[in-house]
Structure 1
């Protein structure tokens, strides 16, 4: 059986690398032949990730160009896959999540009659434009997928309500937990964190969402600064490479003595910062899944979330993007104690379940 596992961005490689590693383990015993396929949608960030999991792309489309539009990314991925699928005859193409890379690869494979497995299927915010374009992308991918690997029971129930056949859906847990298990077992996270920051009294911040750029992000940043100034808790903020994000962040947080604005970190470094943080304020999707592993509370700085399990489990709060609401949510995070709460996103065996599902 030949499978292609596709990635193009940093979050994707984190979540598909464990599947690729597991496929390689099963190669001889189960007859799986796996290709790791990189589109290069985010060139710099993908290059940052390869060394962590000790894997290289088998195929690299290298589509990245400066300031490319979503339509340009989609066109390049579809064109690249049209040529690839002529050369290599895959039984399955695996895509992950909701990026333009994943959506375009899935459509290209579907049009060539290749079965698609959607890792992290069934997530919904309920608003087609928030997050944009991710909400549309994941809905499209689910429509053309032969197997939908839902990370949680709630994701499965969402797909069932939308009319998908239950036989196409497998609850697996989220592969990001597999990635965390890998990193914790391969790296000394305490040493990694101390190389970045010695302070232990800090909270971690990440912001980058397209729909938040502008006044929404200013509101969030002002709330973070007010809170940090009042409570004396440090902000550790790996600032996204997007020039529009960087401009806003440096305008609002420059001169804030407690703000440590650092360059983007790799996944091991982010995991180390997450492990020791007081809590997290973010508009990221992935960190909503990763924080509960370490018992950390998440202030979700967005108007919607496609991961309601975080809120329902008690590990997070959907704060919105109003300055005062975010400010108050930060105090709830400070008061949080994990106690016996359970991570709703998995147990570290999702990759194995995904591969077993296609092996029957």
Structure 2
């Protein structure tokens, strides 16, 4: 079976890495990694792939940035050439980025089966580009690999056949648990943040990048107000996304001296910091899940989430963007720590289950 694994941005590689590694247990399966280049990342060198224990992509499409339409179209044109050259039996996509949508459409138009990992997640907010990508990808996929029960329920409600829906757990958690173990065996002093973490004592960890949060000066200023209030009591480590840094300058956003502004971090260094934080504040989707898996309190600075299990049984609190709600969410997240549970099947074996399905060994 000839399979193309699609990745468009750094977080996608965290998801496909366990899938690629698990494929090696199946001699009849040939996996090739396709990097669309949706996001350029200078840190994605040979070392990056070596740390994930996967080869460098067989195909790099280098499509770059642009509007959603420009980027999606560029990926489709470039990926069509790959499909025609490879004649794959299956295209496997993960998550909800433009590459997920574009490669799914191309594959189906070429008569190739599509499997969607992280299928069925819904925020029910069509103002989010990712929600549109999720819905359209699921509308044309052949196999659905689901991380949580809400995904199964959403797909059934949308009329998908039950036999095509597979609850397998979460490949992002597969990677997380593996990386936590690997951290135990490396020299942590090599991280630039090692000294900062040691000196900070109790600290918080912050990520912020969504356009809905940083493009509006009013919204960003309100979030900053809450962050500065928390910084009166705690050091806050804040790796700043380039978009966020630009908006901070454009809006004149000023943060407390106790908010330590860091450059974008590699996966391992970010994990090194947030896994021991008193709480994580974020608008990321993946961090909501990863913090739940490790039992770290999480405050999601958004009005909705496509990952409800992290709120229902995990450590996540959906706080919204108003300053007083963020502060209340922080307090509640600390209270939830002792009551939280890890969702079913988030045990580091999701990729194994995916291949059991694809290889016809059962669900």
* TM-score, normalized by the shorter chain, greater than 0.5: yes
Instruction: Indicate which of 34, 39, 45 corresponds to 1:37.
Output: 34
Q: Is the 8 A contact 2:248 2:254 kept in 1?
A: no
Alignment pair present for 1:73 and 2:71: yes
Q: Give the secondary structure class of the aligned counterpart of 1:281.
A: strand
Mapping 1:1-360, distance limit 5 Å: 1-23=1-23, 25-28=24-27, 31-44=28-41, 47=44, 49-55=48-54, 56-65=56-65, 68-129=66-127, 132-188=128-184, 191=188, 192=191, 194-195=194-195, 197-198=197-198, 199-213=200-214, 214=216, 215-229=218-232, 232-242=233-243, 246-247=247-248, 251-254=252-255, 256-338=256-338, 341-343=341-343, 346-360=346-360
- Alpha carbons of 1:190 and 1:11: their partners in 2 closer, same or farther (altered >3 Å)? same
Q: Give the secondary structure class of the aligned counterpart of 1:43.
A: coil
Q: Distance in 2 between matches of 1:347 and 1:237?
A: 29
Q: Distance in 1 between matches of 2:270 and 2:140?
A: 33
Q: Is the 8 A contact 1:39 1:62 kept in 2?
A: yes
- Alpha carbons of 1:326 and 1:353: their partners in 2 closer, same or farther (altered >3 Å)? same
Q: Is the 8 A contact 2:314 2:340 kept in 1?
A: no
CA drift at 1:250: 8.8
- Alpha carbons of 1:345 and 1:286: their partners in 2 closer, same or farther (altered >3 Å)? farther
Q: Distance in 2 between matches of 1:325 and 1:7?
A: 35
Q: Distance in 2 between matches of 1:350 and 1:26?
A: 14
Q: Distance in 2 between matches of 1:98 and 1:53?
A: 21
Describe the superposition over 1:251-283 as per-residue Cα deviations: whole angstroms up to 9, x where unpaired: 4344x1211110011111111112110011110
Q: Is the 8 A contact 2:208 2:283 kept in 1?
A: yes
- Alpha carbons of 1:249 and 1:269: their partners in 2 closer, same or farther (altered >3 Å)? farther
Where does structure 1 differ by over 6 angstroms across 4 or more consecutive aligned residues?
Answer: none
Q: Distance in 2 between matches of 1:3 and 1:105?
A: 13
Q: Is the 8 A contact 1:10 1:46 kept in 2?
A: no
- Alpha carbons of 1:22 and 1:353: their partners in 2 closer, same or farther (altered >3 Å)? same
CA drift at 1:17: 1.2
Q: Distance in 1 between matches of 2:17 and 2:39?
A: 16
TM-score (norm 2): 0.91
Q: Give the secondary structure class of the aligned counterpart of 2:44.
A: helix
TM-score (norm 1): 0.92
Q: Is the 8 A contact 2:117 2:145 kept in 1?
A: yes
CA RMSD of superposed structures (Å): 2.0
> Structure 1: 5+ residue runs without aligned partners?
none
